[in-house]
Protein backbone atom coordinates (compact mmCIF):
# COMPACT_ATOMS: atom_id res chain seq x y z
CA UNK A 1 0.00 0.00 0.00
CA UNK A 2 1.32 3.43 -0.88
CA UNK A 3 1.04 6.54 1.28
CA UNK A 4 -1.51 8.03 -1.10
CA UNK A 5 -3.81 5.06 -0.45
CA UNK A 6 -3.87 5.58 3.31
CA UNK A 7 -7.12 7.22 4.54
CA UNK A 8 -8.18 8.62 7.88
CA UNK A 9 -11.52 6.88 7.47
CA UNK A 10 -13.79 9.37 9.24
CA UNK A 11 -17.48 8.38 9.20
CA UNK A 12 -19.95 10.53 7.29
CA UNK A 13 -20.59 14.05 8.56
CA UNK A 14 -23.84 14.69 10.46
CA UNK A 15 -26.75 15.35 8.13
CA UNK A 16 -27.68 18.82 9.40
CA UNK A 17 -28.11 22.27 7.85
CA UNK A 18 -26.98 24.90 10.35
CA UNK A 19 -28.40 27.68 8.20
CA UNK A 20 -31.84 26.07 8.26
CA UNK A 21 -31.56 25.60 12.04
CA UNK A 22 -30.78 29.29 12.53
CA UNK A 23 -33.62 30.23 10.19
CA UNK A 24 -35.92 28.20 12.42
CA UNK A 25 -34.66 30.11 15.45
CA UNK A 26 -35.35 33.41 13.67
CA UNK A 27 -38.88 32.22 12.91
CA UNK A 28 -39.53 31.44 16.58
CA UNK A 29 -38.17 34.84 17.58
CA UNK A 30 -40.42 36.47 15.01
CA UNK A 31 -43.50 34.71 16.36
CA UNK A 32 -42.60 35.73 19.89
CA UNK A 33 -41.99 39.34 18.85
CA UNK A 34 -45.39 39.45 17.17
CA UNK A 35 -47.07 37.89 20.21
CA UNK A 36 -45.77 40.61 22.48
CA UNK A 37 -46.16 43.46 20.03
CA UNK A 38 -42.39 43.86 19.98
CA UNK A 39 -41.75 43.57 16.26
CA UNK A 40 -40.26 47.05 16.03
CA UNK A 41 -39.09 47.62 19.59
CA UNK A 42 -37.75 44.88 21.84
CA UNK A 43 -38.67 46.99 24.83
CA UNK A 44 -42.17 47.73 23.56
CA UNK A 45 -45.23 47.51 25.75
CA UNK A 46 -46.87 44.18 26.44
CA UNK A 47 -50.44 45.34 25.94
CA UNK A 48 -49.67 46.87 22.56
CA UNK A 49 -49.85 43.35 21.17
CA UNK A 50 -53.61 43.52 21.62
CA UNK A 51 -53.87 45.52 18.41
CA UNK A 52 -51.36 43.44 16.42
CA UNK A 53 -51.41 39.78 17.38
CA UNK A 54 -55.01 39.65 18.57
CA UNK A 55 -56.13 40.04 14.98
CA UNK A 56 -54.58 36.63 14.36
CA UNK A 57 -56.07 34.84 17.35
CA UNK A 58 -59.17 36.95 18.05
CA UNK A 59 -58.15 37.45 21.68
CA UNK A 60 -57.89 40.71 23.60
CA UNK A 61 -54.76 40.54 25.73
CA UNK A 62 -55.52 43.77 27.57
CA UNK A 63 -58.60 42.21 29.20
CA UNK A 64 -57.20 38.70 29.64
CA UNK A 65 -57.38 36.92 32.98
CA UNK A 66 -54.30 36.19 35.06
CA UNK A 67 -54.53 32.53 34.06
CA UNK A 68 -54.67 33.44 30.38
CA UNK A 69 -51.74 35.80 30.78
CA UNK A 70 -49.78 33.05 32.51
CA UNK A 71 -50.32 30.80 29.50
CA UNK A 72 -49.37 33.65 27.20
CA UNK A 73 -46.20 34.28 29.17
CA UNK A 74 -45.30 30.57 29.17
CA UNK A 75 -45.80 30.41 25.40
CA UNK A 76 -43.49 33.37 24.90
CA UNK A 77 -40.87 31.85 27.18
CA UNK A 78 -41.07 28.55 25.28
CA UNK A 79 -40.57 30.34 21.96
CA UNK A 80 -37.63 32.38 23.21
CA UNK A 81 -35.97 29.43 24.89
CA UNK A 82 -36.65 27.25 21.86
CA UNK A 83 -34.97 29.74 19.56
CA UNK A 84 -31.95 29.92 21.88
CA UNK A 85 -31.69 26.11 22.09
CA UNK A 86 -31.79 25.84 18.29
CA UNK A 87 -28.99 28.38 17.96
CA UNK A 88 -26.94 26.53 20.57
CA UNK A 89 -27.50 23.24 18.69
CA UNK A 90 -26.37 24.92 15.47
CA UNK A 91 -23.28 26.17 17.29
CA UNK A 92 -22.58 22.65 18.62
CA UNK A 93 -22.75 21.27 15.08
CA UNK A 94 -20.36 23.98 13.95
CA UNK A 95 -17.94 23.12 16.77
CA UNK A 96 -18.03 19.43 15.80
CA UNK A 97 -17.37 20.27 12.16
CA UNK A 98 -14.43 22.45 13.15
CA UNK A 99 -13.01 19.48 15.10
CA UNK A 100 -13.61 17.19 12.13
CA UNK A 101 -11.85 19.60 9.76
CA UNK A 102 -8.93 19.92 12.17
CA UNK A 103 -8.52 16.11 12.29
CA UNK A 104 -8.52 15.90 8.49
CA UNK A 105 -5.95 18.70 8.20
CA UNK A 106 -3.65 17.12 10.77
CA UNK A 107 -3.82 13.77 8.95
CA UNK A 108 -3.15 15.33 5.56
CA UNK A 109 -0.15 17.19 7.02
CA UNK A 110 1.16 13.88 8.40
CA UNK A 111 0.77 12.26 4.94
CA UNK A 112 2.70 15.08 3.25
CA UNK A 113 5.52 14.81 5.75
CA UNK A 114 5.62 11.01 5.36
CA UNK A 115 5.83 11.29 1.57
CA UNK A 116 8.69 13.79 1.90
CA UNK A 117 10.63 11.36 4.11
CA UNK A 118 10.14 8.60 1.52
CA UNK A 119 11.13 10.76 -1.44
CA UNK A 120 14.14 12.48 0.13
CA UNK A 121 14.98 11.19 3.61
CA UNK A 122 18.20 13.21 3.97
CA UNK A 123 16.70 16.61 3.08
CA UNK A 124 13.55 15.87 5.08
CA UNK A 125 15.54 14.91 8.18
CA UNK A 126 17.77 17.98 7.88
CA UNK A 127 14.76 20.27 7.52
CA UNK A 128 13.11 18.79 10.63
CA UNK A 129 15.54 20.69 12.86
CA UNK A 130 15.94 17.73 15.22
CA UNK A 131 19.31 17.23 16.89
CA UNK A 132 21.05 14.51 14.92
CA UNK A 133 18.34 14.64 12.28
CA UNK A 134 20.75 14.85 9.37
CA UNK A 135 22.66 11.77 10.57
CA UNK A 136 19.38 9.86 10.98
CA UNK A 137 18.41 10.76 7.42
CA UNK A 138 21.74 9.56 6.03
CA UNK A 139 21.48 6.25 7.93
CA UNK A 140 17.86 5.76 6.82
CA UNK A 141 18.75 6.41 3.18
CA UNK A 142 21.65 3.95 3.34
CA UNK A 143 19.84 1.19 5.27
CA UNK A 144 16.39 1.21 3.60
CA UNK A 145 15.32 1.40 0.02
CA UNK A 146 12.32 3.46 -1.06
CA UNK A 147 9.84 0.59 -0.76
CA UNK A 148 10.97 -0.23 2.75
CA UNK A 149 10.73 3.42 3.84
CA UNK A 150 7.23 3.71 2.40
CA UNK A 151 6.10 0.53 4.17
CA UNK A 152 7.30 1.95 7.50
CA UNK A 153 5.56 5.28 6.87
CA UNK A 154 2.29 3.54 5.94
CA UNK A 155 2.35 1.60 9.23
CA UNK A 156 3.01 4.81 11.16
CA UNK A 157 0.20 6.63 9.36
CA UNK A 158 -2.29 3.86 10.11
CA UNK A 159 -1.37 4.12 13.78
CA UNK A 160 -1.77 7.91 13.72
CA UNK A 161 -5.14 7.51 11.99
CA UNK A 162 -6.30 5.33 14.89
CA UNK A 163 -5.33 8.06 17.38
CA UNK A 164 -7.25 10.69 15.41
CA UNK A 165 -10.29 8.42 15.11
CA UNK A 166 -10.35 8.13 18.91
CA UNK A 167 -10.44 11.94 19.11
CA UNK A 168 -13.26 11.96 16.56
CA UNK A 169 -15.23 9.41 18.53
CA UNK A 170 -15.00 11.66 21.60
CA UNK A 171 -16.23 14.67 19.59
CA UNK A 172 -19.01 12.63 17.96
CA UNK A 173 -20.21 11.20 21.27
CA UNK A 174 -20.33 14.72 22.72
CA UNK A 175 -22.36 15.92 19.73
CA UNK A 176 -24.80 13.02 20.11
CA UNK A 177 -25.20 13.82 23.82
CA UNK A 178 -25.86 17.43 22.87
CA UNK A 179 -28.39 16.30 20.28
CA UNK A 180 -30.28 14.24 22.87
CA UNK A 181 -30.20 17.15 25.30
CA UNK A 182 -31.40 19.58 22.63
CA UNK A 183 -34.39 17.31 21.95
CA UNK A 184 -35.25 17.26 25.65
CA UNK A 185 -34.72 21.01 25.97
CA UNK A 186 -37.02 21.72 23.05
CA UNK A 187 -39.66 19.43 24.49
CA UNK A 188 -39.40 20.25 28.22
CA UNK A 189 -37.58 23.57 28.35
CA UNK A 190 -33.86 24.15 28.92
CA UNK A 191 -32.18 22.25 31.73
CA UNK A 192 -30.07 24.10 34.29
CA UNK A 193 -26.94 22.99 32.42
CA UNK A 194 -28.33 24.28 29.14
CA UNK A 195 -29.40 27.60 30.68
CA UNK A 196 -25.83 28.15 31.84
CA UNK A 197 -24.51 27.38 28.35
CA UNK A 198 -27.11 29.63 26.72
CA UNK A 199 -26.07 32.58 28.86
CA UNK A 200 -22.33 31.93 28.55
CA UNK A 201 -22.58 31.59 24.77
CA UNK A 202 -24.71 34.73 24.44
CA UNK A 203 -27.66 32.89 22.87
CA UNK A 204 -29.88 34.03 25.74
CA UNK A 205 -29.35 37.64 26.74
CA UNK A 206 -29.88 39.12 30.18
CA UNK A 207 -32.86 41.02 28.76
CA UNK A 208 -34.48 37.77 27.62
CA UNK A 209 -33.71 36.19 30.98
CA UNK A 210 -35.46 39.13 32.58
CA UNK A 211 -38.42 38.86 30.23
CA UNK A 212 -38.91 35.21 31.10
CA UNK A 213 -37.67 34.76 34.71
CA UNK A 214 -37.31 31.24 36.05
CA UNK A 215 -39.07 30.33 39.27
CA UNK A 216 -35.76 30.09 41.11
CA UNK A 217 -34.45 33.51 39.98
CA UNK A 218 -34.52 35.95 42.94
CA UNK A 219 -36.65 39.02 42.37
CA UNK A 220 -33.63 41.28 42.93
CA UNK A 221 -31.71 39.48 40.16
CA UNK A 222 -34.71 39.56 37.83
CA UNK A 223 -35.15 43.30 38.30
CA UNK A 224 -31.49 43.99 37.48
CA UNK A 225 -31.89 42.61 33.96
CA UNK A 226 -35.59 43.23 33.27
CA UNK A 227 -36.91 46.26 31.42
CA UNK A 228 -40.29 47.85 32.22
CA UNK A 229 -42.14 45.69 29.66
CA UNK A 230 -40.60 42.57 31.18
CA UNK A 231 -41.56 43.68 34.68
CA UNK A 232 -45.14 44.35 33.63
CA UNK A 233 -45.43 41.00 31.87
CA UNK A 234 -44.17 39.26 35.00
CA UNK A 235 -46.54 41.23 37.23
CA UNK A 236 -49.64 40.58 35.13
CA UNK A 237 -48.79 36.87 35.02
CA UNK A 238 -49.28 36.69 38.81
CA UNK A 239 -52.69 36.09 40.34
CA UNK A 240 -54.02 38.48 43.00
CA UNK A 241 -52.71 36.38 45.88
CA UNK A 242 -49.22 36.25 44.36
CA UNK A 243 -49.24 39.99 43.70
CA UNK A 244 -50.24 40.71 47.29
CA UNK A 245 -47.52 38.40 48.56
CA UNK A 246 -44.94 40.18 46.39
CA UNK A 247 -46.08 43.57 47.75
CA UNK A 248 -45.75 42.36 51.33
CA UNK A 249 -42.37 40.69 50.79
CA UNK A 250 -40.70 43.25 48.50
CA UNK A 251 -42.22 46.73 48.99
CA UNK A 252 -38.83 48.47 48.62
CA UNK A 253 -38.21 46.79 45.27
CA UNK A 254 -41.67 47.34 43.79
CA UNK A 255 -42.61 50.85 44.91
CA UNK A 256 -40.19 52.58 42.52
CA UNK A 257 -40.06 49.95 39.78
CA UNK A 258 -40.99 50.96 36.24
CA UNK A 259 -43.49 48.47 34.82
CA UNK A 260 -45.40 48.05 38.09
CA UNK A 261 -48.94 49.53 37.80
CA UNK A 262 -49.56 53.02 39.15
CA UNK A 263 -52.07 51.98 41.83
CA UNK A 264 -49.63 49.40 43.21
CA UNK A 265 -46.71 51.85 43.38
CA UNK A 266 -49.01 54.45 44.92
CA UNK A 267 -50.18 52.09 47.66
CA UNK A 268 -46.62 51.05 48.56
CA UNK A 269 -45.27 54.61 48.47
CA UNK A 270 -48.09 55.97 50.65
CA UNK A 271 -47.17 53.35 53.24
CA UNK A 272 -43.55 54.46 52.94
CA UNK A 273 -44.63 58.11 53.29
CA UNK A 274 -46.42 57.30 56.56
CA UNK A 275 -43.30 55.54 57.82
CA UNK A 276 -41.12 58.51 56.86
CA UNK A 277 -43.44 60.94 58.67
CA UNK A 278 -43.29 58.78 61.81
CA UNK A 279 -39.49 58.60 61.56
CA UNK A 280 -39.10 62.35 61.19
CA UNK A 281 -41.53 63.09 64.01
CA UNK A 282 -39.39 60.91 66.28
CA UNK A 283 -36.16 62.57 65.09
CA UNK A 284 -37.61 66.06 65.58
CA UNK A 285 -38.68 65.16 69.12
CA UNK A 286 -35.25 63.72 69.86
CA UNK A 287 -33.49 66.78 68.40
CA UNK A 288 -35.70 69.12 70.46
CA UNK A 289 -34.95 67.18 73.62
CA UNK A 290 -31.23 67.27 72.89
CA UNK A 291 -31.31 71.01 72.26
CA UNK A 292 -33.25 71.64 75.47
CA UNK A 293 -30.74 69.60 77.45
CA UNK A 294 -27.89 71.60 75.96
CA UNK A 295 -29.59 74.88 76.94
CA UNK A 296 -30.16 73.67 80.52
CA UNK A 297 -26.53 72.57 81.00
CA UNK A 298 -24.13 74.60 78.77
CA UNK A 299 -21.00 72.87 80.08
CA UNK A 300 -19.13 72.54 76.79
CA UNK A 301 -16.59 75.28 75.91
CA UNK A 302 -18.04 75.14 72.38
CA UNK A 303 -21.62 75.24 73.62
CA UNK A 304 -22.63 78.15 71.35
CA UNK A 305 -21.30 76.37 68.26
CA UNK A 306 -22.91 73.09 69.28
CA UNK A 307 -26.22 74.87 69.88
CA UNK A 308 -26.04 76.46 66.45
CA UNK A 309 -25.39 73.12 64.77
CA UNK A 310 -28.18 71.46 66.73
CA UNK A 311 -30.56 74.29 65.86
CA UNK A 312 -29.75 73.97 62.15
CA UNK A 313 -30.23 70.21 62.27
CA UNK A 314 -33.57 70.64 63.99
CA UNK A 315 -34.65 73.26 61.47
CA UNK A 316 -33.76 70.96 58.58
CA UNK A 317 -35.68 68.06 60.12
CA UNK A 318 -38.70 70.29 60.70
CA UNK A 319 -38.62 71.44 57.05
CA UNK A 320 -38.48 67.86 55.83
CA UNK A 321 -41.36 66.90 58.12
CA UNK A 322 -43.41 69.86 56.91
CA UNK A 323 -42.78 68.86 53.27
CA UNK A 324 -43.94 65.29 53.89
CA UNK A 325 -46.95 66.40 55.93
CA UNK A 326 -48.02 68.79 53.18
CA UNK A 327 -47.47 66.06 50.60
CA UNK A 328 -49.60 63.69 52.67
CA UNK A 329 -52.41 66.23 52.76
CA UNK A 330 -52.21 66.85 49.01
CA UNK A 331 -52.32 63.15 48.22
CA UNK A 332 -55.35 62.65 50.43
CA UNK A 333 -57.26 65.67 49.18
CA UNK A 334 -60.72 64.43 48.21
CA UNK A 335 -60.79 66.87 45.29
CA UNK A 336 -57.44 65.64 43.91
CA UNK A 337 -56.59 62.50 41.97
CA UNK A 338 -52.92 62.07 42.81
CA UNK A 339 -50.59 59.07 42.83
CA UNK A 340 -47.23 58.76 44.57
CA UNK A 341 -44.94 56.77 42.27
CA UNK A 342 -41.62 57.22 44.10
CA UNK A 343 -40.24 58.71 47.30
CA UNK A 344 -36.67 58.81 48.53
CA UNK A 345 -35.77 61.34 51.22
CA UNK A 346 -32.05 60.54 51.35
CA UNK A 347 -29.94 63.62 50.51
CA UNK A 348 -31.40 65.41 47.43
CA UNK A 349 -33.61 62.39 46.98
CA UNK A 350 -36.33 61.50 44.55
CA UNK A 351 -40.08 62.03 44.33
CA UNK A 352 -42.52 61.29 41.52
CA UNK A 353 -46.17 62.33 41.81
CA UNK A 354 -48.84 62.11 39.14
CA UNK A 355 -51.87 64.37 38.93
CA UNK A 356 -54.23 61.81 37.39
CA UNK A 357 -53.70 58.13 36.76
CA UNK A 358 -51.28 57.70 33.83
CA UNK A 359 -52.34 54.05 33.39
CA UNK A 360 -55.85 55.07 32.35
CA UNK A 361 -55.47 58.63 31.04
CA UNK A 362 -55.79 59.39 27.34
CA UNK A 363 -53.06 62.02 27.51
CA UNK A 364 -50.04 61.77 29.79
CA UNK A 365 -47.32 64.38 30.33
CA UNK A 366 -44.09 64.10 32.30
CA UNK A 367 -42.64 67.35 33.67
CA UNK A 368 -38.86 67.21 34.16
CA UNK A 369 -37.73 70.15 36.34
CA UNK A 370 -34.40 71.95 36.37
CA UNK A 371 -31.69 73.17 38.72
CA UNK A 372 -32.11 73.27 42.52
CA UNK A 373 -34.90 70.71 42.40
CA UNK A 374 -34.90 68.16 45.23
CA UNK A 375 -37.51 65.86 46.71
CA UNK A 376 -38.56 68.80 48.89
CA UNK A 377 -39.62 70.64 45.72
CA UNK A 378 -42.44 68.13 45.21
CA UNK A 379 -45.27 70.30 46.47
CA UNK A 380 -44.32 73.21 44.19
CA UNK A 381 -43.97 70.84 41.24
CA UNK A 382 -47.40 69.36 41.98
CA UNK A 383 -48.80 72.87 41.68
CA UNK A 384 -47.28 73.21 38.20
CA UNK A 385 -48.61 69.81 37.23
CA UNK A 386 -52.07 70.81 38.38
CA UNK A 387 -51.90 73.95 36.23
CA UNK A 388 -50.90 71.86 33.22
CA UNK A 389 -53.84 69.48 33.78
CA UNK A 390 -56.20 72.47 33.92
CA UNK A 391 -54.66 73.89 30.74
CA UNK A 392 -55.10 70.54 28.98
CA UNK A 393 -58.73 70.45 30.08
CA UNK A 394 -59.21 73.99 28.78
CA UNK A 395 -57.93 72.76 25.41
CA UNK A 396 -59.94 69.53 25.37
CA UNK A 397 -62.05 68.27 28.23
CA UNK A 398 -60.83 64.74 28.85
CA UNK A 399 -58.75 62.34 30.90
CA UNK A 400 -55.31 63.92 31.35
CA UNK A 401 -52.47 63.06 33.71
CA UNK A 402 -49.37 65.18 34.41
CA UNK A 403 -46.44 63.74 36.32
CA UNK A 404 -43.96 65.73 38.42
CA UNK A 405 -40.78 63.75 37.77
CA UNK A 406 -38.12 64.58 40.33
CA UNK A 407 -36.22 61.50 39.31
CA UNK A 408 -32.63 62.69 38.93
CA UNK A 409 -29.91 64.50 40.84
CA UNK A 410 -30.45 68.05 39.59
CA UNK A 411 -27.51 70.48 39.90
CA UNK A 412 -27.59 73.54 42.12
CA UNK A 413 -27.88 76.87 40.36
CA UNK A 414 -24.50 77.89 41.76
CA UNK A 415 -22.79 74.98 39.99
CA UNK A 416 -21.28 75.22 36.53
CA UNK A 417 -23.90 72.79 35.30
CA UNK A 418 -22.35 70.86 32.46
CA UNK A 419 -23.98 67.88 30.76
CA UNK A 420 -22.87 65.34 33.39
CA UNK A 421 -26.02 65.38 35.53
CA UNK A 422 -28.18 65.14 32.40
CA UNK A 423 -26.22 62.17 31.08
CA UNK A 424 -26.52 60.45 34.45
CA UNK A 425 -30.31 60.85 34.32
CA UNK A 426 -30.78 59.29 30.87
CA UNK A 427 -31.39 55.70 31.97
CA UNK A 428 -33.89 56.72 34.66
CA UNK A 429 -36.00 58.93 32.39
CA UNK A 430 -35.90 56.50 29.48
CA UNK A 431 -36.98 53.63 31.72
CA UNK A 432 -39.76 55.71 33.30
CA UNK A 433 -41.23 56.61 29.91
CA UNK A 434 -41.04 52.97 28.81
CA UNK A 435 -42.82 52.08 32.03
CA UNK A 436 -45.71 54.42 31.19
CA UNK A 437 -46.21 52.51 27.94
CA UNK A 438 -45.94 49.13 29.65
CA UNK A 439 -48.53 49.81 32.36
CA UNK A 440 -51.09 51.67 30.26
CA UNK A 441 -54.37 49.78 30.44
CA UNK A 442 -56.35 51.03 27.46
CA UNK A 443 -56.39 49.12 24.19
CA UNK A 444 -55.05 52.19 22.37
CA UNK A 445 -51.85 53.86 23.62
CA UNK A 446 -51.98 57.20 25.40
CA UNK A 447 -50.67 60.40 23.83
CA UNK A 448 -47.49 61.05 25.80
CA UNK A 449 -45.62 64.34 26.15
CA UNK A 450 -42.37 65.10 27.97
CA UNK A 451 -41.82 68.67 29.13
CA UNK A 452 -38.31 69.76 30.05
CA UNK A 453 -37.97 72.99 32.00
CA UNK A 454 -34.61 74.69 32.44
CA UNK A 455 -31.89 72.06 32.98
CA UNK A 456 -34.67 69.46 32.75
CA UNK A 457 -34.78 70.20 29.01
CA UNK A 458 -31.12 69.19 28.85
CA UNK A 459 -32.03 65.90 30.55
CA UNK A 460 -34.84 65.36 28.05
CA UNK A 461 -32.56 66.18 25.11
CA UNK A 462 -29.82 63.79 26.15
CA UNK A 463 -32.38 61.04 26.79
CA UNK A 464 -33.93 61.51 23.36
CA UNK A 465 -30.47 61.10 21.78
CA UNK A 466 -29.52 58.03 23.84
CA UNK A 467 -29.51 54.46 22.55
CA UNK A 468 -32.72 53.65 24.45
CA UNK A 469 -34.38 56.88 23.37
CA UNK A 470 -37.36 58.73 24.80
CA UNK A 471 -40.69 56.91 24.49
CA UNK A 472 -43.04 59.81 23.83
CA UNK A 473 -45.09 61.49 21.11
CA UNK A 474 -44.25 65.12 21.83
CA UNK A 475 -41.39 67.01 23.47
CA UNK A 476 -41.55 70.51 24.93
CA UNK A 477 -38.57 72.69 25.94
CA UNK A 478 -39.20 75.82 28.04
CA UNK A 479 -36.52 78.08 29.48
CA UNK A 480 -33.92 75.74 28.03
CA UNK A 481 -30.15 76.28 28.25
CA UNK A 482 -29.97 73.78 25.37
CA UNK A 483 -30.99 70.16 24.78
CA UNK A 484 -27.45 68.96 24.05
CA UNK A 485 -28.08 68.91 20.30
CA UNK A 486 -27.37 71.22 17.40
CA UNK A 487 -30.46 70.32 15.36
CA UNK A 488 -33.89 68.89 16.01
CA UNK A 489 -33.14 65.92 13.75
CA UNK A 490 -30.75 64.58 16.42
CA UNK A 491 -33.63 64.03 18.86
CA UNK A 492 -35.49 61.35 16.90
CA UNK A 493 -38.76 63.32 16.69
CA UNK A 494 -40.42 65.09 13.79
CA UNK A 495 -39.85 68.87 14.00
CA UNK A 496 -43.58 69.54 14.41
CA UNK A 497 -43.53 67.36 17.55
CA UNK A 498 -40.67 69.24 19.20
CA UNK A 499 -41.90 72.50 20.75
CA UNK A 500 -39.70 75.20 22.29
CA UNK A 501 -40.16 78.58 23.93
CA UNK A 502 -38.08 81.09 25.84
CA UNK A 503 -39.53 84.13 27.62
CA UNK A 504 -38.16 87.52 26.67
CA UNK A 505 -37.00 88.24 30.22
CA UNK A 506 -35.66 84.77 31.00
CA UNK A 507 -32.04 85.07 32.11
CA UNK A 508 -31.27 81.59 30.73
CA UNK A 509 -30.40 83.36 27.49
CA UNK A 510 -26.93 84.06 28.90
CA UNK A 511 -26.04 80.35 28.62
CA UNK A 512 -23.58 79.94 25.72
CA UNK A 513 -24.50 77.45 23.00
CA UNK A 514 -21.20 75.65 23.46
CA UNK A 515 -22.33 74.26 26.85
CA UNK A 516 -25.60 72.55 25.95
CA UNK A 517 -25.95 72.83 22.20
CA UNK A 518 -28.06 75.26 20.23
CA UNK A 519 -30.92 77.20 21.83
CA UNK A 520 -33.98 75.14 20.74
CA UNK A 521 -35.86 78.36 19.93
CA UNK A 522 -33.19 79.29 17.36
CA UNK A 523 -34.74 79.01 13.87
CA UNK A 524 -31.71 77.05 12.72
CA UNK A 525 -32.44 74.36 15.31
CA UNK A 526 -35.64 73.46 13.46
CA UNK A 527 -38.13 72.98 16.31
CA UNK A 528 -41.67 74.38 16.45
CA UNK A 529 -41.28 77.63 18.39
CA UNK A 530 -44.22 79.00 20.39
CA UNK A 531 -44.77 82.27 22.24
CA UNK A 532 -44.36 82.85 25.93
CA UNK A 533 -45.44 85.86 27.91
CA UNK A 534 -42.43 88.20 28.43
CA UNK A 535 -42.38 87.54 32.16
CA UNK A 536 -41.11 89.68 34.99
CA UNK A 537 -38.18 91.88 34.05
CA UNK A 538 -34.75 90.70 35.10
CA UNK A 539 -33.50 92.09 38.43
CA UNK A 540 -30.64 94.55 38.49
CA UNK A 541 -27.14 93.25 38.81
CA UNK A 542 -27.30 93.33 42.60
CA UNK A 543 -30.45 91.24 42.55
CA UNK A 544 -28.88 88.75 40.18
CA UNK A 545 -26.75 87.47 43.05
CA UNK A 546 -29.77 85.75 44.60
CA UNK A 547 -31.90 85.31 41.47
CA UNK A 548 -29.52 85.12 38.46
CA UNK A 549 -32.13 83.88 35.97
CA UNK A 550 -34.94 86.15 37.13
CA UNK A 551 -38.58 85.37 37.93
CA UNK A 552 -39.47 84.94 34.26
CA UNK A 553 -37.49 81.71 34.21
CA UNK A 554 -40.12 80.11 36.47
CA UNK A 555 -43.26 81.79 35.12
CA UNK A 556 -43.95 79.50 32.15
CA UNK A 557 -46.49 77.59 34.24
CA UNK A 558 -48.32 80.59 35.67
CA UNK A 559 -52.03 80.94 35.00
CA UNK A 560 -53.11 83.01 32.02
CA UNK A 561 -49.72 82.83 30.30
CA UNK A 562 -49.31 82.06 26.62
CA UNK A 563 -46.85 79.27 27.40
CA UNK A 564 -49.23 77.42 29.77
CA UNK A 565 -52.06 77.62 27.26
CA UNK A 566 -49.86 76.25 24.47
CA UNK A 567 -48.48 73.41 26.62
CA UNK A 568 -52.03 72.45 27.57
CA UNK A 569 -52.89 72.12 23.89
CA UNK A 570 -49.79 69.97 23.28
CA UNK A 571 -50.68 67.67 26.18
CA UNK A 572 -54.24 67.35 24.92
CA UNK A 573 -53.00 66.43 21.44
CA UNK A 574 -54.23 69.60 19.79
CA UNK A 575 -50.81 70.54 18.37
Residue pair 448/474 in contact (Cβ under 8 Å)? The answer is yes
Helix (H), strand (E), coil (C) string for 145-189: CHHHHHHHHHHHHHHHHHHHHHHHHHHHHHHHHHHHHHHHHHHHC
Q: What span, in angstroms and rounded, lies between the C-alpha atoms of 516 and 549?
A: 16
Q: What span, in angstroms and rounded, lies between the C-alpha atoms of 62 and 441?
A: 7
What backbone phi and psi angles, to 5 degrees, belong to 115? -65, -40
Comparing CA positions, the residue from 389, 387, 383, 393 lying closest to residue 402 is 389
pLDDT at residue number 185? 87
Q: What span, in angstroms and rounded, lies between the C-alpha atoms of 140 and 124?
A: 11
Q: What span, in angstroms and rounded, lies between the C-alpha atoms of 226 and 210?
A: 4
HSE value, Cβ hemisphere, 13 Å, CA-based, for 138: 4
Q: Domain 336-571, what architecture?
A: 3-Layer(aba) Sandwich (3.40)
Q: What span, in angstroms and rounded, lies between the C-alpha atoms of 26 and 33?
A: 10
Comparing CA positions, the residue from 437, 493, 436, 435 lying closest to residue 461 is 493
Could you say which residues of the chain have pLDDT below 50?
37-63, 66, 206-207, 210-213, 302, 305
Following DSSP, what letter does each residue of 486-524 receive, concatenated?
SSGGGGTS-GGGEEEE--TT-GGGGS-HHHHBS-TTSTT
pLDDT at residue number 58? 39
pLDDT at residue number 212? 47
Q: What span, in angstroms and rounded, lies between the C-alpha atoms of 519 and 483?
A: 8
Angle between helices 303-331 and 378-395 (to 10 degrees): 30
- Distances from the Cα of 227 to the Cαs of 42, 46, 49, 161, 358, in angstroms? 10, 11, 17, 54, 19
pLDDT at residue number 324? 96
Comparing CA positions, the residue from 435, 490, 437 lying closest to residue 461 is 490
Comparing CA positions, the residue from 499, 518, 497, 507 lying closest to residue 564 is 499
- Distances from the Cα of 553 to the Cαs of 383, 481, 550, in angstroms? 16, 11, 6
Residue pair 250/271 in contact (Cβ under 8 Å)? The answer is no
Q: Residue 230: CB partners within 8 Å, gap ≥ 6?
A: 207, 210, 211, 259
Q: What span, in angstroms and rounded, lies between the C-alpha atoms of 64 and 55?
A: 15
pLDDT at residue number 52? 40
pLDDT at residue number 559? 93
Q: What span, in angstroms and rounded, lies between the C-alpha atoms of 366 and 405?
A: 6
Q: Please give the angle made by the CA atoms of 74, 80 and 85, to the nearest 5 degrees.
A: 120
Residue pair 385/403 in contact (Cβ under 8 Å)? The answer is yes
Q: Please give the angle made by the CA atoms of 423, 429 and 431, to the nearest 5 degrees.
A: 115
Amino acid sequence: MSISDVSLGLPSDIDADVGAINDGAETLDGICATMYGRSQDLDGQFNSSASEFSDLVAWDISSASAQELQSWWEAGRALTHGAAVLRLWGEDIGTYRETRADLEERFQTAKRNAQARVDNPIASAAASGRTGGLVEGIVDAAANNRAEREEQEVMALNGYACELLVEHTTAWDLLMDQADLAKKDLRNGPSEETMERLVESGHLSSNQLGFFPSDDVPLEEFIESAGPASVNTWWTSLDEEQQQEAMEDHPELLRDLDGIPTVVRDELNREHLDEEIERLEAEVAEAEEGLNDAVRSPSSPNADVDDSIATNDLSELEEQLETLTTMHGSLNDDNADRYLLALDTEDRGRAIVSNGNPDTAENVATLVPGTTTTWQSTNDQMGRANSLVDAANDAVEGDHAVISWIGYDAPNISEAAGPGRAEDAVDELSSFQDGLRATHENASPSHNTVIGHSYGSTVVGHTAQSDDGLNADEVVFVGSPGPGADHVSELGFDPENVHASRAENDGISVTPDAVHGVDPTDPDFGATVFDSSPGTELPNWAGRATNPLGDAHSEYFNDDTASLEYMGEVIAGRK
